[in-house]
Structure 1
Amino acid sequence: MKSLLVLLIGMIPGAVISQNKPTYKEPFRPQFHFTPYHNWMNDPNGLVYYKGEYHLFYQYNPMGNTWGHMSWGHAVSRDLVRWQPLALAIPEDDKNMIFSGSCVVDKNNSSGFGKKPGQIPLVAIYTAHIIPDKTKPDDYQQNQHIAYSLDDGRTWKKYDGNPVLDLKKKDFRDPKVFWYGPGKKWIMAIVLPQEHIVQFHGSTDLKTWSHLSDFGPAGDTNDIWECPDLLQVPITGQPGKSKWVLINSQQTTMQYFVGEFDGIRFQNENPADTILRPDYGPDFYAAVTYNNLPPGQDPVLLGWANNWKYGQSIPTSPWRSAMSVPRSLRLKKSGNTWILLQQPVKSLLSLRGNVTEWKSKIISGETVFPAKGQVIELDADLIPAKNAICGVRLAAGGGQSIIIGYNADSAKLYIDRSNSGNTYFNNQFAAWQYSSARVPLQDGKLRLHIFFDKSIVEVFANDGATVLTAQLFPSATHDGIEFFSEKGPTRIPIAKVWSLSSAWK
């Protein structure tokens, strides 16, 4: 029966968009982070720009609000902010669940899928998760499949010759494919999760692949590796210069390496004992970047704003899980270490409404900011006293809030959500209430750029050199904003708060 239902879902045009459109007024529903109309979502997949549209495919359960029946959901946007959900793209079938992967624009029709002159296929490369005996879900295999679209991503056909890459392994997944111009070939980055290895494979036609090299184990090997990405990132202040960045995920967090790639091997140039993370909060995972962006556009990173430890029980309905805001990427050198700089995409500026501003404030104790809201953008500079603990409380009310704080003595930026609202829906959530990262002041100053969207806070510190993302589930009436400073005063040269409009109107 399950297989029949999956088949029917794949055959019905508009299977996703035919669901009743939600009001977007449900408790905790984000207003400018992407969420599906209904049901469970996890990893972003197949991020690609084509003919003026940013495509977002994602791991999706068309049958329920927890993980299962993994298929590729689909939405498109012209600005990375306002999204149009589309029909289910690649459904589960009676043999395979459709796990994570990527999508490319096959401009030269190297795959041969284009049958008419000038026809350009979109090709999806994904992991097929195969369970021969459904009574033994842990007895599975994974190999790599492809599907193609000849109508700008609206409908997809699975390749008859699948799989295109099979190591006969249980865990072998998450292919990220891109075109490597100097070598005139496709490159696939893919993980061996248990071995903590990213493999690189090459192909000229997306159908036949050859192994090139391995990277790892390296960095954080405490948990399995997943969702790799390899891309060139421009160096800030050095026009035309770039470095290669290798990203992967480790069950509940992520890391990145910076170095060079010669078409065969990746060489890490950061110190071997340094672990760098694109996000130090509890709710940012499986992030990957867009393929085929217009010339001159900085890379765009998008992640899943949830956590496997408690994600299937967060108190949201009829959907579960959101994506982060899309982030533009640059690099800078700090000492002997390359640091990833992340900035929210500029198109988010189009949501700005009224602004409330402070100038030259001295905070000692607690001061209420003269604006409120649960859908806001905050930009502030803080100059703390030598030993001060300072910051801002959002979703403040009834003695509750989420704290974005800074300890000047230890140079730690932190998020504390232990008293932010509903924290009792899952014991694991209670164990992930505090996250921090070392953030040295720059010329004595901490720059905070914060996006708060109902149930998600993203904190960009010091021009995006450090980012923390966290979920919270506050009362709808708790919308206060409070600045605080303990153990000494904090000077705030400027602070601005914008109300943000909904991207779903």
Structure 2
Amino acid sequence: MADDRIRDPHLPEVHLRPPANWINDPNGLVHHDGWYHVFFQHNPQAPTHDRVHWGHYRSRDLLRWEPQPLALSPDFGLPDEDGCFSGNAVSHNGRITAFYSAHRVGRPWQPVAAADSGPDGSTFVKRPELLVADPPSGVTTFRDPYVWRDGDHWRMLVGAGYADGDGAALSYTSPDLTDWTYEGPLHRRADTTPNAPALRTGEAWECPQLAVYDDGRALLLTSAWYQRTGPSHVVAWPGHREGGDFRFPATATRFDHGPDFYAPALMRAPDGRWLLWGWSWEAREDSCAKEAGWAGVLTVPRELTLRPDGGPHQAPARELDGLRTSTWLKATRAQPGTTSVLGSVGPAADISVRLGFAQEAAWGLRIMCGAGRTDDDDHADDTGYLDLEIRDGALTVDRGGASADTRAHVGAYRMPLPELTPGEEGEVELRIILDHSIAEIFSGSGEALTLRFYPARSDTWTLVSRGIASDPVEVTLTAHALRTPEAAAGA
């Protein structure tokens, strides 16, 4: 299939994905022999989720990615004949070992399988025997292994759902990456009812990931899945090491506040940082993806740290600064009831905003497609716009006017800003990564919101400040165009 960058203006430029067809979960993130390796769920034949393989890229610097041969492919007659589903990988004894879910249609659980690479990590040979052939008693959903080294032995989590409705991350141990012993649930909780105030955590947990920090704190990530509706959102469980095990609270927090983020995967970088990629699915009808010839994208790599309260703090990986070019800065005072054009950026941009509030923490940013019209709020733009609005201690992002195609999803989504105190002076920092049809938004306090949208055009974004507070707001905006990794390589 031809490169769809030519005919689909919504295809991102700086986000990692193959030129065409289907992509979903990031898998097997590992640093091996001087290279960062990112694997991912991929159908190389069509933009649909069918007979999924493991695609593969590698990079020295997290910017310039080299395509590699397909790492894993379904084999007829084997337990994975209908798909090599999600898992992770480790670098050990001079090779990469990939752990994955062997999918077969009609089997509700997915056994744990493994494959080993050659020294350069580019080709893999499947092991003849399954590592874990069957789920424990009472478990009806079973998939997505996550393996890591813990002292003198190896540990593995597998996402699970029990027949009674509990979600869980099941724990296994091994001395050699071959023989695995079931230890019980690392963490298990029942889902709340739809109208309960607590965060829903899923009837089953997919893609469990565990980040362990040097001070003994830990963060468990699980992706909430439902039998009737499928994947939903990502849940973060702050915890800590206690002896040889981990403890997590009964309550959890939402990891990303947008509608289009799922199945994040972790990597420990050589410098000790925890890095993370997620899957951002399409927010439009399946027919759109079939027409375009592609579906899905990986987020930019994120650095995952912990706040003092143990909660997750996310920010774009510092390496992304290497894609910045054509920088401009605008400082202004947003007066009540006024709008002003701050400037324009290209289709891929990195935007930082610093806001200083007096008594009322309220301000709006309209990101318009093209030049737009700003003289009248009711007719602000004829080609689409994305609205960001800070009010009542949160950021709301509304994509209701952003997409030209009626088959695209709409809605408004709220991200808390805990750094704001009602009625007091305060500051907020936002960072926005825009790339054709995806926006990743981060606050200075480490919250994140990811969403997709499809404007009629995406060659230029015009940034408009909207004064919605009852008193002036100090605004400093710094915008960078983002060049493609290919362009950065030639710079």
Place the TM-score, normalised by the shorter chain, in its bin: 0.7 to 0.9
Partners of 1:252 and 1:309 within 8 A in 2: no
Pick from 474, 499, 502 the counterpart of residue 455 of structure 2.
474
Partners of 1:173 and 1:191 within 8 A in 2: yes
Change (3 A) 1:228 1:121: same
The residue correspondences of 1:56-455 to structure 2 (distance < 5 A) are 56-94=38-76, 95=78, 96=80, 97-107=83-93, 120-131=94-105, 138-167=106-135, 170-181=140-151, 184-194=152-162, 195-214=166-185, 215-217=187-189, 220-233=200-213, 241-250=215-224, 251-262=231-242, 265-268=245-248, 272-273=250-251, 275-291=252-268, 293-294=269-270, 296-306=271-281, 313-314=288-289, 317-333=292-308, 337-364=309-336, 365-384=338-357, 386-387=359-360, 389-396=362-369, 397=372, 398-399=381-382, 400-407=384-391, 410-422=392-404, 424-426=406-408, 429-430=409-410, 433-442=411-420, 444-455=426-437
Partners of 2:344 and 2:460 within 8 A in 1: no
Paired residue secondary structure (2:253): coil
- 1:114 corresponds to which residue? none
Change (3 A) 1:33 1:395: farther
Change (3 A) 1:84 1:417: same
Shift of 1:89: 0.9
Change (3 A) 1:311 1:416: farther
- 2:193 corresponds to which residue? none
Q: Which amino acid aligns with 1:391?
A: G
Give aligned pairs, total: 446
Change (3 A) 1:500 1:347: same
- 2:376 corresponds to which residue? none
- The Cα RMSD (Å) is 2.4
Shift of 1:312: 7.6
Q: Which amino acid aligns with 2:345?
A: K
Between the aligned partners of 2:117 and 2:412, the Cα distance in structure 1 is: 44
Between the aligned partners of 2:351 and 2:290, the Cα distance in structure 1 is: 26
Identity of aligned residues (%): 28
Between the aligned partners of 2:478 and 2:142, the Cα distance in structure 1 is: 47
Q: Which amino acid aligns with 2:311?
A: I
Partners of 1:255 and 1:278 within 8 A in 2: yes
Shift of 1:288: 1.2
Structure 1: 5+ residue runs without aligned partners?
1-18, 108-119, 132-137, 234-239
Between the aligned partners of 2:5 and 2:283, the Cα distance in structure 1 is: 27
1:327-372 deviation digits (Å, cap 9, x = unpaired): 0111122xxx322111111111111111111224334321111233
Change (3 A) 1:318 1:489: farther
Shift of 1:121: 2.4
Shift of 1:423: 5.0
1:389-439 deviation digits (Å, cap 9, x = unpaired): 4121223433421112111xx21211100000235215xx23xx1110221
Between the aligned partners of 1:83 and 1:24, the Cα distance in structure 2 is: 20
Give the structure-2-normalised TM-score: 0.85
State whether structure 2 residue 478 is matched by structure 1 residue 503. Answer: no
Paired residue secondary structure (1:349): helix
Shift of 1:173: 0.4
Paired residue secondary structure (1:348): helix
1:101-144 deviation digits (Å, cap 9, x = unpaired): 0001123xxxxxxxxxxxx221111111123xxxxxx4544111
Between the aligned partners of 2:286 and 2:177, the Cα distance in structure 1 is: 34
Q: Which amino acid aligns with 1:249?
A: S
Q: Which amino acid aligns with 2:126?
A: K
Partners of 1:46 and 1:103 within 8 A in 2: yes
Paired residue secondary structure (1:482): strand
State whether structure 2 residue 11 is matched by structure 1 residue 29. Answer: yes
Between the aligned partners of 1:494 and 1:213, the Cα distance in structure 2 is: 52
Shift of 1:231: 1.6
Between the aligned partners of 2:16 and 2:75, the Cα distance in structure 1 is: 26
Partners of 1:415 and 1:436 within 8 A in 2: yes
Between the aligned partners of 1:231 and 1:179, the Cα distance in structure 2 is: 12
Q: Which amino acid aligns with 1:213?
A: G
Shift of 1:93: 1.3
Between the aligned partners of 2:331 and 2:100, the Cα distance in structure 1 is: 51
